[in-house]
Amino acid sequence: MSIPSRPQYRTAAVASAALVAAAALASLAACGPSAVERPVAGAPTRLAGAELVVRDTLVNAVFEAAGTAQPIQQATLSTKLMGTVTAVLAHEGDAVAAGQPLVRIDARDLAARAGQVAAAAAEADAVHRDALTQAHRIRALYADSAATRAQLDAVETGLARAEAGVRSALAAAAEVGAVRAYAVIRAPFAGIVTRRFVDVGAFAAPGAPLVAIQDASRLRVTVHATPDVARTIRRGQPLAATIEGRPYRAIVEGVIPAMAGNLYTINALVPNSGLAILSGSTATLALPTGERSTLVVPASAVMREGDLTGVMLRTDQGDELRWVRLGATAAGVVEVSSGLRPGDRVVVPSADANLAGRN
């Protein structure tokens, strides 16, 4: 066998090296995609993704005021009557429409009273018709000088008394009708029955609670703030709200002085058409207080491991995980309150990066 010349030997060596490199690449590809690039041994490790230089950024400063979310409309219903409960037509959790009967009370004595009032009204009407007829007759006679002035005055007085009697009878009938309306307790608005205080056979007294109802389709979030914060809030102003950990949009209903202390009460309305928010839920309102400078990073750059949060910091020696403390999150960015300095380079991982523990 002849010995290859030097140029042929170099070609063979290059081909061998190419084969080794191809085999290494094939082995790396077989392991699946990786978020960290390792070009050669000893080189800095780099996370696949975009590099972002952290700088001071002006953000809207807010004061997180805590409170509760309560329905705008809620009522505890009672009656003006004394009587036995004959029917309970709605129970806890029932959805009711406006005007729907909820409780019935025995009102047979009112039915008898209504009969008496009706008879009195009929009598007053008959007396009024007779007095009117007499008045027409005497007026005609007086015009022909066939009746005296005293007769005319007497008939006019009788007619006035008859008219007063009719008005009195009608007022009595209206009073009985109004009282009889309290024999049926109706829903003042559409909502949900939250509590039932009586059962059939119970005795209802004037002012005693019978049933409670609330409309939770809109909620009022009530919080308190100091005057320096409250003075920047205006009626109709939109605010960011958080209710039971979920974000919502609230509209300021009004700002009023609190009952005690140097505080102001801020009420904001939150729509709740799907009734996803329960009455009495804890809530916070983000009350704007101006602007401040802080460091922010994209929310996609944050990595989580249990309760710890961090970002991938790019250095000349390689990428390293830096634990940081986070602040408020808004519009896809999150504040970093500690752990980073202006000028630090943060890696925003690409979509195909496989990082264990990353949120």
- Mind listing the pLDDT tens digit for each residue in 238-259? 999 999 989 999 999 999 998 7
Q: Which amino acid, 250? A: A
Question: How far is Cα 47 from Cα 345, in angstroms, rounded to an integer?
Answer: 12
Parse the chain into domains and list their residue ranges: 56-70+215-349, 79-106+183-209, 108-180
CB 218 within 8 A of CB 74: no
Residue 212, class by beta-carbon neighbours within 10 Å (0-12 exposed, 13-18 middle, 19+ buried)?
middle
Helix (H, G, I), strand (E, B) or coil at 159: helix
DSSP 57-112: EEEEEEEEEEEEEEEEEEEEE--S--EEEEEE---TT-EE-TT-EEEEE--HHHHH
Please answer whether residues 294 and 335 qualify as being in contact, where contact means their C-beta atoms are separated by less than 8 angstroms: yes
pLDDT band at 43; cut points 50, 70, 90: low
Separation of alpha carbons 261 and 82, rounded Å? 43
- Residue 336, pLDDT > 70, answer yes
What is the C-alpha to C-alpha distance for residues 311 and 236, in angstroms, rounded to an integer?
Answer: 39
Dist. CA 19–CA 30, nearest whole Å = 16
Q: What share of the chain is helix, strand, coil (3-state, %, to 5)?
A: 30, 40, 30
Which class in CATH covers the domain with range 56-70+215-349? mainly beta
Tokens 């008005």, residue? 167
Considering the chain, what percentage of its residues have pLDDT values greater than 70?
86
| Residue closest to 215 by CA, chosen among 255, 271, 254 | 271
- Domain 79-106+183-209 adopts which CATH fold? OB fold (Dihydrolipoamide Acetyltransferase, E2P) (2.40.50)
CATH annotation of 108-180: 1.10.287
Residues 25-35 have a mean pLDDT of: 38
Report the distance separating Cα 138 and Cα 155, nearest Å: 7
- pLDDT tens column, 130-163: 999 999 999 999 898 888 999 999 999 999 999 9
Which of 114-118, 288-292, 345-349, 355-359 bottoms out in mean pLDDT, i.e. has the lowest?
A: 355-359
Domain 56-70+215-349 and domain 108-180, same fold? Reply is: no
